[in-house]
Structure 1
Amino acid sequence: MSIEIKTPRVERHFDHHSREFASNYSNELNEMAADFPVAYTPAWNGFWMLAGFEEVNAAADNWPVFSSAHDGIEGDPFVSRDLANLPEPLPFQRRGVSIPFSKLGTGVRFVPSECDPPMHTDIRRLEVPFFTPKAVRGHDEEVRRLVTEALDSVIETGSVELIMEFALQITTKVTIGIIGFDKADWLDFALAVHEMGARPGSQEAGRRVVETRKKLAALVAERAKEPKNDVASALLAGSIQGTPVSEAEAATILNGLTFAATDTTTSTLAHMMIYLSVNPTHRQRLIDDPTLIPNAIEEILRYNSPFFGTSRTVMNDIELGGQKLKAGDAVMLGFAPGNRDPRKFEEPETIKFDRANAKDHLAFGAGPHRCLGAPLARLELRIMIEEILKRIPDFHIATDDIVPYADKSFNGFESVRTTFTPGKRVSTS
């Protein structure tokens, strides 16, 4: 990979969607964070890559300058609200949170991820009550039951495909239940999320997302007539900047929630399992002392961030990391490389389950857009790992049974096949 240093701009030719990047992923992250905390790449019409921990945090916190908004999406129900928040027309277009936006697949804005305060603040306010630590603790028994059922369905066979047969099934059921769906509807949503991660921008990903949006619109229409204790009903009962949330807006918000809360947690579980499979000493430590599991989860999130990063549009000229960014520039906030920054994490290329500052990672993002569902993800991961180590402690994952996503913008897996000594079912249902 060629590197060119100009004055005053540092350039590093880099494409996070390329197979070259995917084939050397971990080394690339280490190099970016250590040597190129802020650099420009000509890929995808040019953008700034922020790879340093401090630089990523600074941009994430400074939302007035680094905008998440996305303009010009046909049929976007939030367009009028966006225009009302702009004092005057912009001389450039805000690009949302993906470079390029088409890689997300559908021409649909992801809300509230692609909104700025105050609109973003009001939308989060409506969702937050369902994802507070207290609210999430109320799902402990439900998650454990779902994990038990999933393990029971495979434990006598001695084999499980970790993604569709286990983790994605559990995370999707929990998420759509909170939204307002029956858990039996999980498969269509899981397939849509999985296809977007595996083949972002593909026709199949777009088709599946369109189908799930139809289901979301139907749910919202039902809740408009008969509210219940779920996110869909809470959105319809709420307002954004003093104006009631429309059905189209509620469906769009729910679409963003569906895709944010499932595959990322699933990928993290798979990364943990793969690591423990080839590091039996660390596996035994967690078996002997389950209290180590929460910090081990944070360290896996740091080292194997499920999401590479998220983009912003520069609203005003600014200097960051010694580089001059101009209004209208596209910027990628690299959560994954930021988690390998040696200025923040000692020996960042090494997984340490006892790392004191592991929880400082950027895997859940940073600033006002930090992941709303982090408490739920932590709960799901802890319970899944606890039950796996308890019921199938000798699991093994062969290298040939790991099929990662080809595009490393999502650090997940097509499939991960796991084998273990068959056991007995414990559920009577």
Structure 2
Amino acid sequence: MTHDFDPLKPETFDSANGEYAELRARCPVAHSDAWGGFWALMKHNDVAAAATDWQTFITSQQNVVPKVAFTGRRPPLHLDPPEHTPYRRAIAPLLTERKVARLEPVVRRICRDLLADMVAQGGGDVVADYSAHMPIAVFAHWMNLTADAVAELTRVGQRYNIAVQSNDMDSTKESSLLLYDMARGIVADRKANPLPVDEDVTSALLATRVDGEPLPEEMIVGTIRQVLVVGIIAPSVMIGSIAVHLGRDPALQAKLRADPALVPAAVEEFLRLYTPYRGFARTALTDVTIRGRTIPAGEPIALVYASANRDEEVFEDAGQFRIDRPNMKDSLAFGRGTHSCVGAALATLELNVA
């Protein structure tokens, strides 16, 4: 099999985007021998089409490259419709724009407190001292976690994030098991002390019925385990990327300070440029031919959202920051289709405030 690129070679902040641009031009349906072999879709139209065609491209076999789900399935991301639907339906009402808007005072207080600590210390690291903590504190409030649980989530969540980013499989598995232990504790507590289903995601999952039957408890645990991670990693990574960009562009920084009303549009463009999750994976149920290359059934396919969001055929001056893009709706920062990010409204609020 042709080896078109090496995802394991060392990177700088900008180097991956340069390689993606080269692959879009030379080999938009690429193959790598890394991690047992996988395909990668680099063009916007191909990524969007695969993400929306869940009947052909399933997520239940492998949802990321490399495969890191050592410890069981975690709904809704690891399931296909219709199996995934009850889990998403339980979560989604707690993450509507209206529900999330009520959290804005909480997010602002958390951000102010973290920044006040940095100022008192004479400065700090925007990731280690700010963005690594803010999403955890916000998410803990949303999930109604205790102070002890927040401290444990901070410790284990950061460890898991570092392990995944560095492809340390042993540490990833170890920290994932600890997150599962946390999830089991949360589920056990909600079984004993349920909260209103419109205020607590764990209680909502426990109250869900399919054909009169409750969801399997271990699948609820898997859902909470998944929620714990996705809600804290992406905002942290994204804030770090925004900080780098603004540090390089003092004029844009001054413009946003002078007119905060521009911040939401700027955040949308930052999300396009620095998509926090580079992509997710699918597996084709049958052989599929894309741009002249046939991908055999059963082989993992990475949908590289980070490349798709810089596709020059969709976004003019795709590598440049433009706050007034007319087609921002085409951004794949939060995915597309049945597995689009259910927490997009909360993530956007966090970034707008931060």
TM-score normalized by structure 2? Answer: 0.92
> Is the aligned partner of 1:228 residue 2:195?
yes
| Counterparts of 2:283 and 2:90, CA distance in 1 | 26
Say whether the 8 Å CA contact 2:86–2:208 is kept in structure 1. Answer: no
Q: RMSD across aligned C-alpha pairs, in angstroms?
A: 2.1
Say whether the 8 Å CA contact 1:295–1:358 is kept in structure 2. Answer: no
| Counterparts of 1:29 and 1:242, CA distance in 2 | 48
In structure 2, which of residues 71, 81, 103 is the aligned counterpart of residue 139 of structure 1?
A: 103
TM-score normalized by structure 1? Answer: 0.76
The structural deviation recorded for 1:19 is 2.1
Equivalent residue number for residue 79 of structure 2: 115
Say whether the 8 Å CA contact 1:188–1:212 is kept in structure 2. Answer: no
> Is the aligned partner of 1:262 residue 2:232?
yes
Q: Counterpart of 2:84 in 1: which secondary structure? A: helix
Q: Counterpart of 2:89 in 1: which secondary structure? A: helix
Cα deviation, 1:178-207, whole Å, max 9, x if unaligned, reads 223125532322333322332224433333
In structure 1, which of residues 282, 291, 299 is the aligned counterpart of residue 261 of structure 2?
A: 291
Q: Counterpart of 2:31 in 1: which secondary structure? A: strand
The structural deviation recorded for 1:107 is 3.2
| Counterparts of 1:241 and 1:339, CA distance in 2 | 40
Say whether the 8 Å CA contact 1:33–1:340 is kept in structure 2. Answer: no
Shift in CA distance, 63/344, structure 1 to aligned 2, threshold 3 Å: same
| Counterparts of 1:196 and 1:13, CA distance in 2 | 29
> Is the aligned partner of 1:50 residue 2:51?
no
Q: Counterpart of 1:311 in 2: which secondary structure? A: strand
Q: Counterpart of 1:160 in 2: which secondary structure? A: coil
> Is the aligned partner of 1:216 residue 2:183?
yes
Q: Counterpart of 1:154 in 2: which secondary structure? A: helix
| Counterparts of 1:291 and 1:382, CA distance in 2 | 10
Shift in CA distance, 240/254, structure 1 to aligned 2, threshold 3 Å: farther
Shift in CA distance, 285/113, structure 1 to aligned 2, threshold 3 Å: same
Q: Counterpart of 1:19 in 2: which secondary structure? A: coil
Say whether the 8 Å CA contact 1:38–1:49 is kept in structure 2. Answer: yes
The structural deviation recorded for 1:274 is 1.4
In structure 1, which of residues 325, 338, 358 is the aligned counterpart of residue 295 of structure 2?
A: 325
Aligned ranges 1:174-323 → 2 under 5 Å: 174-183=138-147, 185-200=149-164, 201-229=168-196, 230-240=200-210, 243-323=213-293
Cα deviation, 1:126-173, whole Å, max 9, x if unaligned, reads 000110101100101111111111112221222122223212212112
Give, as a single letter, the amino acid of the residue that structure 1 aligns with 2:118.
V
What is the total number of aligned residue pairs between the two structures?
Answer: 348
Shift in CA distance, 46/176, structure 1 to aligned 2, threshold 3 Å: same
Which blocks of at least 5 consecutive residues in structure 2 are unaligned?
none
Shift in CA distance, 41/205, structure 1 to aligned 2, threshold 3 Å: closer
Larger radius of gyration: 1
| Counterparts of 2:150 and 2:129, CA distance in 1 | 12
Say whether the 8 Å CA contact 2:7–2:34 is kept in structure 1. Answer: no
> Is the aligned partner of 1:172 residue 2:142?
no
Q: Counterpart of 2:303 in 1: which secondary structure? A: strand
The structural deviation recorded for 1:23 is 7.8
Fraction of identical pairs, as percent: 29
Shift in CA distance, 284/175, structure 1 to aligned 2, threshold 3 Å: same
Equivalent residue number for residue 35 of structure 1: 26
Shift in CA distance, 12/296, structure 1 to aligned 2, threshold 3 Å: farther
